[in-house]
Amino acid sequence: MTAEQNALRQADSNLDASLERLFAFLRIPSISTQTVHAHDCRAAAEWLMEKLSALGFSASVRETPGHPVVVARRDGPARAPHVLFYGHYDVQPVDPLALWETPPFEPQLVMDAEGVKQIRARGAADDKGQVMTFVEACRALIEVDGSLPVGVTFVIEGEEESGGENLLPFLKANAEELKADLALICDTGMLDAKTPAITTMLRGMVGEEVTISAADRDLHSGMFGNAARNPIQVLCDIISDLRDGATGRVTLAGFYEGVPEISAEVREQWRRIGPSDEAGLGSVGLRWPAGEVGYTALEQTWCRPSCEINGISGGYEEDGFKTVLPAKATAKISFRLVGDQDPDAIRAAFRAHVRARLPKDCKATFVGHGGSRASVVPQTLPQLQKALDALTAEWETPATVIGCGGSIPVVGEVKEALGLDTLLIGFGLDDDRIHSPNEKYNLVSFHKGIRSWVRVLKTLAK
């Protein structure tokens, strides 16, 4: 039996204990965006540091102006490559709590209607479960071989779900310590439940919050209706102009500068490996693609930019009815970027769009919520094919490269601060309900994710 097979067998025998460790991690309500959970974020960082220290890593909790970062290092054999593994221990808020079938921070192993075992908890898939696949792979290798086949540095942050503004300065400040040959990130998914994938395209993002204000207080709608400006109406008019109703295209000036067109060959490849519009949208109870005319749902999420309204608030929002004319109204808007689109230019174009449509007696204020460029992994990266081969061997299905509609700013930040290319290897599925009630991570994803990382690390060492 080879050393790799021994490590895989060790991972199998460790599975129950690995689940216990994951469940302990999931019980920590490390919600980074809510200040009441700041101590929980620190507790999650310290928990992870202790587990990595026990595996022989030189591990520490590093301070930032926000939540701390966990850094852990263990060198590999002489002349072996060194990889930097990134993940995050913070999680999204759990609202609406009433829609959870089980308490979000009481992880449980449940069975779905098709008999698939699932780990249900907030953070199960995003990102604690994915982080722990790598930790447990390292454990299996160390327990069998007494060492790792490559050098490994962990950087696990606590602000990914709340903007991550402190990560890039941290990476730059510690660039010498964090030197490596390749970055690995697990915050992605598979093509489907049987087909492993490496994500080679990620969209960038710009987040904007705009508030329209008019009167100096809420007004009685009978006494002031029609006569006074209604900020909700003004806001709705402004954001309705963000898209062309006939074509679905975003109307911001210069929005499509730097957006590449996909080739006919790529479109055909995606047609073969990806779901149809009906199948892809059918999983969430929809049928017809919206957005840009002439592009499939898959193309629109993998390689086209978007503009989405993520939330609107204003006026009376409690139970019952109140005839109020609100003093202000707020909308949260996100833009997903592709190609060479410039986040700063998109932000400026959005603010200009709003200001140009402001009527008299109204003013607009803005709050920015992060900005990042799109990322592309070079198809010529030597480690890409090695990792694809390792995934194919584990899942016994040819691994493929895919795009992703989401944004992972750390890919660009790792490139900027450390000069590293990144392999995005994750085992999540589209139905994992990340950011939603009843988030889950299939037990198979967790188990075979551990085994996959064993194979990837062994292969990268060759």
Domain presence at residue 58: yes
Give the CATH number for residue 149. 3.40.630.10
Given this model, what pLDDT does residue 69 score? 98
164 and 20 within one domain: yes
Q: Report the domain count for the chain.
A: 2
80 and 9 within one domain: yes
Q: 345, 370, 395: which is the final residue of a domain? A: 370
Q: 346, 370, 394: which is the final residue of a domain? A: 370
162 and 46 within one domain: yes
192 and 81 within one domain: yes
Residue range 340-355: mean pLDDT, rounded: 97
Domain presence at residue 357: yes
Q: Which residues of 213-250 are buried (b: 16+ CB within 10 A; e: fewer)?
A: bbbeebbebeeeeeebbbbbbbbbebbeebbeeeebbb
Amino acid at 246: A
Cβ atoms 364, 214 nearer than 8 A: no
Percent of the chain at pLDDT > 70 equals 100
Given this model, what pLDDT does residue 10 score? 98
Confidence of residue 201 (pLDDT cuts 50, 70, 90): confident
Given this model, what pLDDT does residue 269 score? 81
355 and 230 within one domain: yes
What residues does 152 pair with on adjacent strands?
Answer: 74, 83
Spell out the residues 6+ positions from residue 14 whose beta carbon is closer than 8 angstroms to its own: 136, 139, 140, 143
pLDDT (tens digit, 9 = 90+) per residue, 101-127?
A: 999 999 999 999 999 999 999 999 999
> If you ran DSSP here, which 8-state letter would residue 33 be given?
T
> If you ran DSSP here, which 8-state letter would residue 358 be given?
P
Given this model, what pLDDT does residue 246 score? 94
Q: 370, 385, 418: which is the final residue of a domain? A: 370
85 and 191 within one domain: yes
Closest C-alpha to 373, from 415, 423, 332: 415
The parent domain of residue 310 ranges over: 204-259+293-370
pLDDT at 313 over 80: yes
Given this model, what pLDDT does residue 456 score? 98
446 and 310 within one domain: no
Give the chain's end-to-end CA distance (angstroms, integer).
18
pLDDT (tens digit, 9 = 90+) per residue, 395-439?
A: 999 999 888 887 788 998 999 999 999 999 999 998 999 999 999
Domain presence at residue 266: no
Domain presence at residue 25: yes
Residue 184 three-state SS? strand
229 and 119 within one domain: no
Domain presence at residue 252: yes
209 and 179 within one domain: no
Residue range 4-28: mean pLDDT, rounded: 98
Domain presence at residue 278: no
In a 13 Å sphere around the CA of 96, the CA atoms on its Cβ side amount to 2
What residues does 375 pair with on adjacent strands?
Answer: 202
Residue range 276-283: mean pLDDT, rounded: 89
Give the CATH number for residue 213. 3.30.70.360
Domain presence at residue 231: yes
313 and 223 within one domain: yes
223 and 126 within one domain: no
Given this model, what pLDDT does residue 275 score? 87
Domain presence at residue 165: yes
pLDDT (tens digit, 9 = 90+) per residue, 31-72?
A: 999 999 999 999 999 999 999 999 999 999 999 999 999 999
395 and 343 within one domain: no
